[in-house]
Amino acid sequence: MALATAAGSWGHDVDGQALLAALDALDVDALPVVWDAPADWGSYDLVVVRSTWDYTSRRAQFLDWAASVPRLANPSATLCWNTDKHYLSALLDAGVPVVPTEFVAPGQSYEPPEYEHVVKPAVSAGSRDTVRFCAGQDSSGHAGGLLAAGRAVLVQPYLARIDEAGESALLFFGGAFSHAARKGPVLAPGAGLPHEVEISPRRPTPAEHAVAAAALAAAPGPLLYARVDLAPGPDGEPLLMELELTEPSLFLFTSPGSAERCAEAVLCRLRG
């Protein structure tokens, strides 16, 4: 089997390397392969998408590649749905409590809100081109630049409780809950990612488990892996920020045995 990565990414993919070691312990012959390099993808019993972190600037090419791979996890239809954040609207329609989101398409007018908010592209990963704006701060320059480049944007209120509580990331392998991690505040006011984000183990609440279950039930599958990112809303109840089904960090280092659980899920998929 192959673990799909991007050129130059494998050395930074600590999750992929941990998974590779766990697969080796199960006698699974696995190796990293760059997704846009020449390869006989049909020769693999399974291709697992992992650190394909450069797809956001070439989404159409990436989805064409995904559709060409006979045995892909997560499957190409899931990747098509998940790589554009308009999927949040589908989850909201399905009754999942999602962070309030306004979408603006290229050609539409943009009015910056007065409250503290976040502007991000509809197609992005790793918080690239995502900026947090203070109340009353004009975000039209950032949004306008994205829109002028032909990129749809979404605008969300910044959830202030994140600054103390952080975000919760719930990880699932083969549909079963594996572990969870706390992500410290990611966005500084008026800026994108800080230099370091604190990641530590976390025990999810029953309410967080319920939101995660609702989100996964509404997502197209079958899912080999999923990461559900939640944050407390103004009333403290969890809201879904992202449902990561494409190439999420799995935070395997936060939970002993999680790499082995992921490898077992891969082995089950290999066995059908």
**In the annotation, is 58 catalytic?**
no
**In the annotation, is 244 catalytic?**
yes
From 167, 208, 244, 260, the catalytic residue? 244
| Digitized pLDDT (tens) for each residue of the chain, 272 residues in all | 999 999 999 999 999 999 999 999 999 999 999 999 999 999 999 999 999 999 999 999 999 999 999 999 999 999 999 999 999 999 999 999 999 999 999 999 999 999 999 999 999 887 788 999 999 999 999 999 999 999 999 999 999 999 999 999 999 999 999 999 999 987 777 655 554 788 999 999 999 999 999 999 999 999 999 999 999 999 999 999 999 999 999 999 999 999 999 999 999 999 98
From 227, 242, 247, 260, the catalytic residue? 227
* pTM as predicted: 0.95
pLDDT for res 126: 76
Residues in Cβ contact with 265 at an 8 Å cutoff, skipping those fewer than 6 apart: 173, 174, 176, 224, 225
Residues 241 and 164 reside in one and the same domain: yes
47 in a structural domain: yes
Boundaries of domain holding 201? 87-96+160-251
Residue 21: how many CB atoms within 10 A of its CB?
13
75 in a structural domain: yes
Residues 224 and 237 reside in one and the same domain: yes
Residue 90: how many CB atoms within 10 A of its CB?
15
Residues 92 and 201 reside in one and the same domain: yes
Residues 143 and 171 reside in one and the same domain: no
**In the annotation, is 202 catalytic?**
yes
Which helix (H) or strand (E) segment is 170 a member of? Answer: strand 167-173
Per the structure, the count of domains in the chain is: 3
The DSSP bridge pattern shows strands 176-183 and 117-121 to be unpaired
